[in-house]
């Protein structure tokens, strides 16, 4: 029984112990597998990592160059925007100045036209007044002539009247 108990204890101990020999074989298997892969594809793997490193370096340099170009482009755009803003301000100022000068010219032209209209109205009123006074004078002259004619006819006889007309006609014809 002691042998059986000892062998049972040994079996029980084997179950709880680590299998170092199995673990060592597995590690050796992985090392051999990695070695075979390294031997077969090591050059390609090195080339990949070296090429990848160079590609990353090139890409970083390209990105840095693009960053500098973008910064220069940004500065140029900001400069142009500032120039455009200044040009807009200048155009607005020029537009305001032109509008003011146009306004002044329009007002001056309107004042000149108003003065011409007033002058024309004054002349028209003067001409109307003159024509009215001429009409009144002509009317008065006709009335005076009629009154004088009637007065002369009353004072002069028909023979004297004819003699006066002949005398006046000879004066007019001789002159």
Residue 85 is assigned to a structural domain of this protein: yes
Please list, in sequence order, all residues whose beta carbon lies within 8 angstroms of the beta carbon of residue 153, skipping any fewer than 6 positions away. Answer: 161
- How many percent of the chain have pLDDT more than 70? 87
Q: Is 25 left (phi over 0), alpha (psi -120 to 50) or beta?
A: alpha
On the question of pLDDT at 5 being above 50, the answer is no
Give the model confidence (pLDDT) of 116-153 as tens digits: 999 998 898 888 888 888 888 888 777 877 877 777 66
Q: Which two tokens stand for residue 131?
A: 């024509």
SS3 83: helix
Which of the four pLDDT bands, split at 50, 70 and 90, describes residue 8?
Answer: very low
Residue 112 is assigned to a structural domain of this protein: yes
On the question of pLDDT at 10 being above 60, the answer is no
SS3 50: helix
Residue 134 is assigned to a structural domain of this protein: yes
On the question of pLDDT at 13 being above 80, the answer is no
Residue 48 is assigned to a structural domain of this protein: yes
Residue 51 is assigned to a structural domain of this protein: yes
Residue 16 is assigned to a structural domain of this protein: no
Residue 147 is assigned to a structural domain of this protein: yes
Phi, psi of 136 (to 5 degrees): -65, -45
> What are the start-end ranges of the H helices in 19-157?
20-155
SS3 25: helix
- pTM, 2 dp: 0.37
- Number of compact structural domains in the chain: 1
Mean pLDDT taken over the chain: 83
Residue 174 is assigned to a structural domain of this protein: no
Domain that holds residue 150: 21-165
């Amino acid at each position: 029984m002691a042998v059986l108990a000892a062998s049972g204890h040994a079996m029980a101990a084997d179950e709880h112990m680590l299998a170092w020999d199995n673990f060592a074989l597995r590690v050796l298997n992985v090392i051999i597998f990695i070695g075979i892969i390294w031997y077969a594809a090591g050059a390609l793997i090195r080339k990949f990592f070296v090429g990848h490193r160079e590609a990353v370096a090139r890409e970083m340099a390209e990105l840095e160059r693009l960053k500098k170009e973008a910064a220069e482009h940004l500065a140029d755009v900001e400069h142009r925007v500032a120039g455009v803003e200044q040009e807009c301000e200048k155009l607005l100022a020029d537009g305001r100045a032109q509008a003011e000068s146009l306004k002044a010219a329009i007002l001056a032209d309107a004042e000149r036209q108003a003065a011409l209209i007033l002058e024309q109205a004054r002349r028209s009123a003067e001409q109307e007044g003159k024509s009215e006074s001429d009409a009144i004078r002509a009317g008065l002259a006709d009335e005076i002539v009629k009154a004088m004619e009637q007065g002369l006819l009353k004072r002069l006889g028909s023979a004297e009247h004819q003699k006066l007309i002949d005398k006046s006609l000879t004066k007019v014809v001789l002159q």
